[in-house]
Structure 1
Amino acid sequence: MVSIPTIDIAPLNNDAHPDYDQTVRQVMDACTQIGFLSITGTGVSQDTVDRVRSTVRAVFAIDEAAKWDQAITRENYRGFIPMGFFAPNDGSGKADKYEGYKLHHDVNVDAPIRQDCPLYGPNIWPRQVPDARNTILDYWSRLDSVAHVLLAALETGLGLPARQLRAAFSDPMTNMTLLHYPPQSPDEDGYGIHPHKDTDALTIIAPDPVGGLEVQTRDGGWITPDCPPGGFIVNIGDMLELWSGGRLKSTPHRVVNRSGKERYSFPYFCVPRHDVVVAPLLPPLPGFDRPSVHCGHWSAEIWRTNWPDEAADNTTPELGTLSD
């Protein structure tokens, strides 16, 4: 049975560290085999994570009328996502059993970049949780640093020029989703989130003690990441798989919450700047044949096709689909 390794990434903070090369190899092994890893040594304290988790609980404790007053719209993919609103982007399957709160890279309403890409803008922060903005943005900033450490290691491991990946993340389209999954009964079908691959470059998540995240193995089975307290789960998204010519693996995963408890999660999705075109930086592996992706167009299409009455068309990037 394939397992998801736990790696202390502290040596990656200094490329002169005696364990730097060994740690890069460990990260590469995980990312080329299963596409998931648990990491420790991030410098992000458990207290920081606990504050965010408490904030997320408070966000979803807001009364329903106030949630709808701050809900997502077609024009602004920010704010509350109602329970059961989203189904798989290809139109198949039942609605996912979660409610969410969507946050994006925060820029002022008059920021010049909004003239180039209207997907940028200010977030809607829940008025009923006044500390939410500072708590989440502090955590977000810390994960930005972790993501850049991992991207630097992948540059080394793939033999790419220094900063070739990291340069794509100035004014990024990085985003977070706060999530609440109510418990599913043992005989209830459907998912908290249906099996999917992440359509970003890199995802970082602090695992909820309740559990429920499952990762698909190459033989079609499902395993649960074993992440130690204070650690994080990281997975490769479709963009890094594409950049690497198929070497790094974007792996299907799902959430099923049959714990009998409420589950709260707050994944961080690392996404390049809007004008970046993702294409293989290395010769693609045999059989790997995927079109390049324009990040701004990709983001707009992912959002558009999330709406129940919208469908993918021939301009929609082929990202997020399941393996055969």
Structure 2
Amino acid sequence: MTLTARSVSAAALPVIDVAGLSSADPAAREAVGRALRAACLDKGFFYATGHGVPQGLIDAVFAESKAFFDQPPEAKARIDKAHSFCNRGYEPMRGQALDPTAPADLKEGFYIGPELPMDDPRVVARRFNRGPNQWPEDLPGFRPVMRAYFAAMQDLGERLMRGMALSLALPEDHFATFCKDPLITLRLLHYPPQPAKAAENEMGAGAHTDFGGLTLLLQDTVGGLQVFDAASGAWIHAQPVPGAFVVNLGDMIQRWTNGRYRSTLHRVVNASGRERYSVPFFYTGNPDVVVESLDPSEPAKFPPITVEDHLREMYAHTYAVAQKA
């Protein structure tokens, strides 16, 4: 497998100003919906500008993320997600294998989700990914920064889901139930440089589609994200665009649209020779929502499934593969 990709202009992926989704003018919101539809019918990837997330908060997220990964191994191991029943905390290098045909991913990570106390009924019932976060003890700025960013991204995710509804000519609040009490996840990632003598097909993140609804990716200036272009049958670089998030559709959007909107393969190959940091926010939705085709006029390509059941399957698959590697 070749790990190279075509270098193309940023315009190869649409750049969409999503500020109109916050407008009181329905025409402004509908214009964003039309732009989203065009992007979703193409590669299912786009850059989002006009999102309203402060640059100072973004800078603080990168600074705290780097500080965390710079800690000695024993400090990170104290909050390994193996100590968590709800997938929170530190994920060691090669802890996941997103592509079952390739070696485990050359990355380490940290998982953060909605903060729930142990006596919350959802936690008592051991609902999937429900529970308390783990936090580093020696980084006083880490927790407040990540919580502030988490809240900002949840708001942005809700706005984008309203835009997705508009893109499908549905009422803006069509996905309101999906957005209620969502299974959202903030993930910090650190990719070392691609080894000079890497194993065959070894890379930062193997080729995969995302599991949930929308992924809102914050990436540094290093690059390395590659998106599969089905039209050309080749991989293309999704170069960092200052001030923009890379947004891509997950499997649930593809299921809802019966395959019209694409959950596109992507991967990470950090060939820069430098450390790479990225921060994906996975807007996955309410665990009890049943995801099935929105169009009853044609045969469904995917069976109905709840958000929670789909996530359980995906987590079990990617981590079982990593453990065998």
Q: Which moved more, 1:264-273 or 1:66-75?
A: 66-75
Shift in alpha-carbon separation, 1:168–1:20, aligned structure 2, 3 A: closer
Structure-2 change in CA distance of 1:175 and 1:32 (3 Å): same
Give, as a single letter, the amino acid of the residue that structure 1 aligns with 2:52: G
Matched, 1:277 2:287: no
Tell me the residue number matched to 1:193.
205
Alignment match of 1:202 (pick from 204, 214, 218): 214
Q: Please, what TM-score do these two structures have when normalized by structure 2?
A: 0.88
> C-alpha separation between the residues in 1 aligned to 2:321 and 2:97?
11
CA contact (8 A) 2:163 2:172 kept: no
The match for 1:216 among 219, 225, 228 is 228
Greater CA drift, 75-84 or 229-238? 75-84
Matches within 5 A, 1:50-199: 50-73=59-82, 75-88=85-98, 91-119=100-128, 120-185=130-195, 188=198, 189=200, 190-199=202-211
Between 268-277 and 300-309, the greater mean CA deviation after superposition: 300-309
* Whole-angstrom CA distance in 1 between matches of 2:46 and 2:186: 19
Q: What's the counterpart of residue 245 of structure 1?
A: 258
For structure 1, which segment, 65-74 or 251-260, has the greater mean C-alpha deviation from structure 2 after superposition?
Answer: 65-74
**Secondary structure, in 3 states, of the residue corresponding to 1:200?**
coil
Aligned to 1:289: 301
Q: CA RMSD in A?
A: 2.2
Aligned to 1:255: 268
Residue matched to 1:10: 19
Question: 3-state SS of the aligned residue for 1:150?
Answer: helix
The number of equivalent residue pairs is 309
Of 224-233 and 256-265, deviating more is 224-233
For the 8 Å contact 2:177–2:289, the answer to whether it is kept is no
Letter in 2 for 1:306: T
CA–CA separation in structure 1 for the residues paired with 2:40 and 2:61: 27
CA 1:45/1:290 → structure 2, altered by over 3 Å: closer, same or farther?
A: same
1:285 positional shift? 6.2
- Of residues 242, 245, 249, the one that matches 1:229 is 242
CA–CA distance in 1 between the matches of 2:102 and 2:113?
27
Give the stretch that moved more between structures: 195-204 or 271-280: 271-280
Counterpart Cα distance in 2 of 1:23 and 1:285? 27
The residue type paired with residue 257 of structure 1 is N
CA distance in 1, matches of 2:297, 2:314: 25
What stretches of structure 1 of length at least 5 have no aligned partner?
Answer: 312-324
Contact 2:61–2:146 (8 Å) recurs in 1: yes
In structure 2, distance between residues paired with 1:207 and 1:115? 36
Deviation at 1:185, TM superposition (A): 3.6
Q: Distance in 1 between matches of 2:317 and 2:308?
A: 14
Moved more, 186-195 or 122-131: 186-195
Percent pairwise identity: 33
* Aligned 8 A contact 2:184 2:283 in 1: yes
The letter of the residue matching 2:317 is T
Helix, strand or coil: the match of 2:206? strand
Deviations 1:6-64 (A, max 9, x none): 11111121251654333221111001111000011011122111100001001111111
Q: Sort the Cα spacing of 1:60 and 1:245 in 2 relative to 1 into closer, same or farther, 3 A.
A: same
State the Cα deviation string for residues 222-259 of structure 1 (Å, max 9, x = none): 11224431111100000011112222110000000010
1:266-289 Cα offsets, whole Å, 9 max, x none, are 100001122111111224767x61
Cα distance, 1:121 vs. partner?
0.4
**Equivalent position amino acid for 1:247 in 2:** R
Structure 1 window deviating more from structure 2 (53-62 vs 223-232): it is 223-232
Contact kept? 2:220, 2:240, Cα under 8 Å: no
Partner of 1:27: 36
Deviations 1:110-148, CA, capped at 9 Å, x for gaps? 112224443210111111222212101111111111111
| Aligned residue type for 1:143 | M
